Structure 1
Amino acid sequence: MTDTFKALVVNKQADDVSVQVKNLTVDDLPEGEVLIKVHYSGVNYKDSIASIANGNIVKNYPMVPGIDMSGEVVSSEDGRFQPGDHVIATSYEIGVSRYGGYSEFARVPAEYIVALPEGMTTREAMIIGTAGFTAGLSVQRLLENGLDKNNGPVLVTGATGGVGSFAVAILNKLGFEVEASTGKAEEAEYLKELGAARVISREEVYDGEVKQIASQRWAAAVDPVGGEPLASLLTQLKYNGSAAVSGLTAGTKVPTSVMPFILRGINLLGIDSVYCPKPTREKIWLQMATAFKPGDMESFVLKEVTLEELPETLPKLLKGQARGRYLVRIAD
């Protein structure tokens, strides 16, 4: 490898934050058993938060963001990985308290790493990224909690986002009837191409009033939104239905009552992709390479960007301007 390499570095002094591509050396990288030549990363909401002054997510500065990466092992002190192996590393402390994927080379603990499954390329792995992984984990949890194709339609909220888009496609591939909720009416055709049977407005899920109980409508829900919309959809789940919850873009407070739980036996399933145990992580990545893998992976890519384009790309997720995934090409 070269003596120096490029990385996107976020630094903060007082209230001023800089986001710049800089040259680093291997000595600048944190400790870890495995050195990876990074091929691809992606842009997640968490990455955008890491690039602003009041994001309150970065533990120390300077920091290289990028909570996801895929690439090739250059060297390894752990027998599970050998030079030349293709691997995926996502979540844990990556891009938050240790240098992440927006770098031509990264060094991470072996425990963070999953071998790239057969049937998946490093590019596809980062089209999926944490967003697609979270969607896969959400669907798996719903299946484990009894979701069946005969139960009725499944709701996906925030459907044009990374988690939502993949959830629509995965559920459709598995044969479920999907209702996709979005505030972007102009993206209805995109969602139908992914497999949504119907596209509904945000207001059809939450009209501004959370009832204690409402008419039964959905067998289950994949919800990366949270807040009052989550409280509202819980009142509309069918008997023994489940909601897999992974996000908070509509807020952290969920003003619901116990009525849907004690009258309909519904289940609220928390989805954590950050510290997800490694055996589960490996299982979901295998599913994403096989049974859950959408037919047209490129349809999720809104745009492919380089390190140099990231400073202008990261704010777009904070402004709600993203649809699908921004893929970050680190190396050719």
Structure 2
Amino acid sequence: MKRLLVATAMLIVLALISLLIGVGDLSLSALFSPKEGQQAAQILLISRIPRTLAIILAGTAMAVAGTIMQMLTRNRFVEPSTAGTVESASLGLLVVTLFAPEAPVLVKMLVASGFALAGTALFLRILKLVPLRSAMTVPLVGVMLGGIVGAITTFFAYRFDLLQSVNAWTTGDFSGVLRGRYELLWVASALTIFAYLAADRLTLAGMGRDFATNLGLRYRSIVSLGLVIVAMVTATIVVTVGMLPFLGLIVPNVVSLMIGDNMRRSLPWIALLGAGLVLVCDIVGRVAYYPYEIPIGTIMGIVGSGLFLFLLLQGRDRLA
């Protein structure tokens, strides 16, 4: 508990740093200045606080979604961006943009969730048909499926001149987050809390159909619940801020190495570390080329791919 409190305090410090970084002056002197105080307060309330909240909510939800994916597939190298889930959500966004461009954000999220759910279910179905001789077969299948879905999305986006929109969906970026444009992420936060409440059941489902059924668990229902949570979280984040690659893969593995595989015990750590990692990457992206900004998707891709290769080269049996 003491270490968890220390980690929470560190996350709060990172959040305060995030609030102070930007082109606009947001120092204490500016906030309490008679001339600049009103403008600084507007920057804080309209831009900085919503952005920081969006980072924390997205990082927490995506890390937990990755944990659920790994539980359901019983493979440490799976997460929404390596299982075709993100690409399927992007395809859903493209479809709703083509046929109902004026649809509200909530409708777009629901359509993207449906496509993400279908893509994830297809991924799990393919896994049943493919002989899994190696732990690496599972993410390879997911990457190939994601590549196919991504190619279909790119083809139709090019055909209808929507490539820029697709690139925005597949590149995480918090620079456009303002008050009134991030609140959908609270849905992802609610789903994260629900996943914590169902942590014991998801853990049992991750031990296999026979084991879960012998303990009286409705295996199919729990797996469906996990897939719905993953699909809705992924779609919400893609719709709001774009893709955060490798986040749901790296964080659960690091936490597992630290404290083990008890999902109820590890989820608070996964949530904190996920939010902290996204905050750090966002801060780096904002200061590395100041006053310009590098999209967080680029930073996450570099950090995440490097850590992913490190995990692969470790070759530990417990990650399989």
User: Fold conserved (TM > 0.5)?
Assistant: no
Which one has the bigger helix percentage? Answer: 2
Query: Whose RCO is larger (CA < 8 A, sep 6+)?
Result: 2
Which one has the bigger strand percentage? Answer: 1
